[in-house]
Amino acid sequence: MTEQNTRLGIMLMVATTFIFAMQDGLSRHLAGEYNVLMVIMVRYWFFAAFVITIAARKAGGLRAAARTDQPRVQGFRALLLVTEICVMVLAFTLLGLVESHAVFACYPLLIAALSGPVLGEHVGWRRWAAIAVGFVGVIIILEPGFGVFQIEAVVPLLAALMFALYGLLTRYVARQDSAATSFFWTGTVGAVGVTAVGIWFWEPMSAPDWAWMSLLCVTGALGHFTLIKCYEVAEASAVQPFAYLQLVFVTVLGVTVFGEAIRLNVALGTGIVVAAGLFTLWRQRQVG
């Protein structure tokens, strides 16, 4: 791995986090006007078309991309991700971008905590200590001891748990399947699953919002494309810490576009969660 490739990988990860932040902003706007399931369904139609197009152009075509000995796990993974996206977009409408992402930032800690029981990986005391510190940060964000605890705050926490499990299952299927196969199942099965539910919540959409929806679909495909390229040119451990920049971009977007405020406890708690997450990533690299 050359330094040049790592630098390119970091640039691609930064671009990816920016694109996904814009996607979250578009999702928040559209889900505020229309049913969440309908918004995600249309987005997934475009995503599935993108996935199928990429698979068809590779050696072996669609048949090679779809081939797997673990169809149940792959199918569950795909449905878990699309459900997580729906839950997270719902959180945007309930709490806003800033606070939703502040809570969601704990997902790398959940991955570290669950990697033992789910994948049989060893998690040392240092990482367990970092996980504990990180969850202190989550409690500070949620501030359950001050005033009335917002039950809505459980929504992005549930999304983080689902995304962590999705990440672990992705690592599990990677032992046998290629990234291309997992990507194919993610897009196609996810689209079928969300359509089966979302089609019942169809609403007429205004022309300007169709333009925003088109942009949402493009950012979804573009973000996945840059992420794939990122992992092609650099090691995941080298670029993963930069994924936290999405939190920065989303915060700027939430404050400037949606008029959200950054409460002190959210800023403090998020800082603790991110620091703990970065430590677990560093520690995983040291022992890995």
Q: How far does CA 67 lie from the centroid of its chain?
A: 25
> Quick one: CA dihedral 98, 102, 104, 108, positive or negative?
positive
> Quick one: CA dihedral 94, 86, 37, 24, positive or negative?
positive
Measure Cα distances from 23 to 29, 66, 199 in Å.
10, 27, 22
Q: How many domains, in total, are found in the chain?
A: 1
- Which of helix, strand or coil describes residue 96? coil
**DSSP notation for 115-155:** HHHHH-----HHHHHHHHHHHHHHHHHH-TTSSS--GGGHH
- Which of helix, strand or coil describes residue 288? coil
What domain range is 163 assigned to?
3-287
224 and 91 in contact (C-beta within 8 Å)?
A: no
Q: What is the pLDDT along the chain (288 residues), one digit of tens a residue?
A: 445 588 888 899 899 999 999 999 999 999 999 999 999 999 999 999 999 998 898 888 889 889 999 999 999 999 999 999 999 999 999 989 999 998 898 888 888 888 878 777 777 878 788 888 888 888 888 776 554 457 788 899 999 999 999 988 988 898 898 888 999 999 999 999 999 999 999 999 999 999 999 999 999 889 888 888 887 787 776 787 888 888 889 999 999 999 988 888 888 888 888 888 888 877 766 765
